């Protein structure tokens, strides 16, 4: 900004100086022409009168008109008193004598506080006219102009600096608000947010991004807390049961006869705990890519058929119709054991969350190189709040945790399908049922 102003100043000022000099020269040229006309009409006498009239009009100290011979000797002049020190420039004189146009120069005269513009013009073969004009007015004007430009520049610059400072203070104030919010945040006060103005500028974007990040951290922390609560709950129940049974055998000698039953309950509960731990470790390993998947060429239709057969008895038990349709051979490059777990989990859920007399249907659709397997049920459905969370580890729709399950089935299924470059999606209408769809790419034939 300062550079720009200085540049404007540096360009404009010489331009003004040049223009002013051009105007002065034109004015002098006009007087010279007039003097020539007078000389032609009235001779030297007329010239003398014109000299004194001009000196009178402009002030003898401001203008000096002289008639010189070709050697530079002054034949007569309008003023001798003020202009004693006016130097004779023989070079200019000779130059002027050789042409019909005036020759100009700016000179400094000792004792004069302004510069002087001097012009020489040939009047006749051996006569030269000389006009010397004091540039006081021009210099005053330039000085005024220079002062006005500097003042204007100073005012504009101070305005710019002040506006910049105010803006900087505002930005700093808003950055401080973000910093203070960041400093005041802890896991227990994640609800704080940076104030957002309505300016919609970069600071607002920063504040919004920061608040958005806090929202995400907040929901992550909340999710983590819920997972911790769920895990604690899921661990507590079997451990409590094991302890109660073991304690009752110890304190109640009569229970010793039921030792076999007690042991099998303990094994059952520890198996449940082990399954929980192992499944969690397996999901983690598959997601991290450290699990070794046993890939081979398998027929997807066979995997589905076997999974359906596995749950046929359970479904019948609940009076649920479990049907499969459109099974066509479809080769996939997959880990057989893990794919079996995916379909077993999904069919298990469909049967588990469907009440007596309901229906579970598995339909296979082939589209180009992809197979889509729909597992639909007429069960309880999934609420809108639960929908985004059902694939989270340890999430269970049943808050009381009275139905069997670990809250890990869908999480495991999703991690396995993703490891096979596939997709698992869900659609559900609460109270009417759900459809889980597994999409897998086939082996190119």
What is the binding site for ligand ADP (CB under 6 A)?
345, 349-350, 353, 377, 379-382, 386, 390, 395-398, 405-411, 434
The DSSP-derived string for 353-386 is: TS-TT-EEEEEEEEETTEEEEEEEE-SS---TTT
Which of 356, 380, 366, 293 lies closest to 331 in space, CA to CA? 366
* Least distance from ligand ADP to the Cβ atom of residue 408, Å: 6
Question: Minimum Å distance from CB 304 to ligand ADP?
Answer: 16
Angle (CA) 134-139-143 rounded to 5° is 165
CB 257 → ligand ADP: shortest distance, Å?
Answer: 35
Nearer to ligand ADP (CB atom), residue 204 or residue 392 = 392
Q: Residue 263 phi/psi, 5° resolution? A: -65, -40
8 A C-beta contact, residue 86 and residue 148: no
316: which residues sit within 8 A by CB, 6+ positions away?
322
Q: How far is the CB of 181 from ligand ADP (least distance, A)?
A: 36
Residue 71 pairs in a beta bridge with none
Closest contact distance (angstroms) between CB of 403 and ligand ADP is: 7
The distance of closest approach from Cβ of residue 261 to ligand ADP in the complex, given in angstroms and rounded to an integer, is 26
Q: Which is nearer to ligand ADP, 373 or 410 (CB)?
A: 410
Among residues 93 and 410, whose Cβ is nearest to ligand ADP? 410
CB nearer to ligand ADP: give 82 or 341.
Answer: 341
Name which of 331 and 397 has its Cβ closer to ligand ADP: 397
Q: Which residue is nearest to ligand ADP (CB)?
A: 397
User: Which of 150, 141, 88 is closest to 114 using CA atoms?
Assistant: 141
Nearer to ligand ADP, 170 or 425 (CB): 425
Q: How many residues does the chain have?
A: 445
Cβ–Cβ < 8 Å for 408, 281: no
Element holding 292 (H helix, E strand): none
| Least distance from ligand ADP to the Cβ atom of residue 349, Å | 3
Q: Give the nearest distance from C-beta 250 to ligand ADP in angstroms.
A: 33
Q: Given the complex with ligand ADP, which of 264 and 383 has the nearer CB atom?
A: 383
Which residues neighbour 78 within 8 Å (Cβ) at sequence distance 6 or greater? 51, 52, 54, 55, 60, 63, 64, 65, 66
Give the orientation angle of helix 202-251 with respect to helix 259-288, to 10 degrees: 160
* Minimum CB distance to ligand ADP smaller for 194 or for 339: 339
Q: Strand ranges (DSSP E) for 227-301?
A: 295-299
């Amino acid at each position: 900004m300062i550079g720009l102003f200085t540049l404007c100043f540096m360009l404009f000022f010489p331009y003004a100086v040049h223009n002013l000099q051009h105007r002065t020269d034109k004015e002098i040229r006009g007087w010279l022409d007039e003097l020539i006309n007078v000389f032609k009409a009235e001779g030297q006498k007329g010239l003398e009168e014109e000299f004194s009239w001009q000196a009178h009009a402009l002030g003898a100290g401001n203008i000096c008109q002289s008639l010189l011979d070709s050697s530079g000797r002054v034949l007569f002049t309008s003023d001798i008193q003020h202009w004693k020190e006016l130097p004779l420039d023989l070079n200019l004189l000779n130059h002027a004598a050789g042409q019909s146009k005036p020759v100009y120069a700016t000179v400094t005269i000792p004792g004069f506080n302004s510069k002087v513009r001097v012009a020489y013009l040939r009047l006749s073969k051996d006569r030269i006219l000389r006009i010397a004009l004091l540039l006081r007015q021009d210099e005053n004007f330039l000085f005024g102009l220079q002062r006005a430009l500097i003042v204007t520049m100073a005012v504009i610059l101070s305005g710019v600096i002040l506006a910049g400072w105010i803006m900087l203070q505002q930005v700093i104030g808003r950055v401080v608000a973000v910093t203070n919010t960041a400093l005041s945040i802890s896991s227990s006060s994640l609800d704080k947010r940076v104030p957002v103005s309505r300016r919609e500028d970069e600071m607002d974007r920063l504040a919004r991004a920061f608040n958005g990040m806090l929202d995400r951290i907040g929901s992550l922390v909340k999710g983590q807390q819920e997972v911790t609560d769920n895990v604690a709950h899921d661990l507590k129940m079997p451990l409590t049961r094991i302890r109660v049974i073991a304690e009752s055998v110890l304190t109640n000698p009569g229970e010793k006869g039921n030792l076999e039953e007690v042991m099998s309950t303990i094994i059952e509960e520890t198996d449940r705990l082990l399954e929980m731990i192992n499944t969690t470790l397996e999901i983690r390993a598959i997601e991290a890519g450290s699990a070794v998947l046993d890939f081979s060429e398998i027929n997807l239709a066979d995997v589905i058929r076997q999974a359906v057969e596995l749950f046929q008895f359970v479904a019948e038990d609940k009076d649920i119709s479990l049907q499969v349709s459109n099974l066509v051979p479809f080769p996939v490059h997959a880990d057989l054991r893990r794919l079996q777990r995916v379909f077993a989990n999904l069919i298990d859920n469909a049967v588990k969350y469907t009440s007596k007399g309901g229906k579970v249907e598995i339909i296979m659709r082939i589209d180009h190189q992809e197979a889509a397997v729909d597992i639909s049920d007429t069960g309880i459905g999934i609420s809108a709040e639960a929908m985004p969370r059902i694939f989270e580890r340890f999430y269970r729709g049943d808050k009381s945790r009275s139905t069997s399950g670990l809250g890990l089935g869908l999480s495991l299924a999703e991690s396995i399908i993703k490891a096979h470059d596939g997709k698992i999606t869900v659609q559900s209408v609460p109270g009417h049922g759900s459809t889980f769809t597994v999409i897998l790419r086939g082996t190119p034939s």
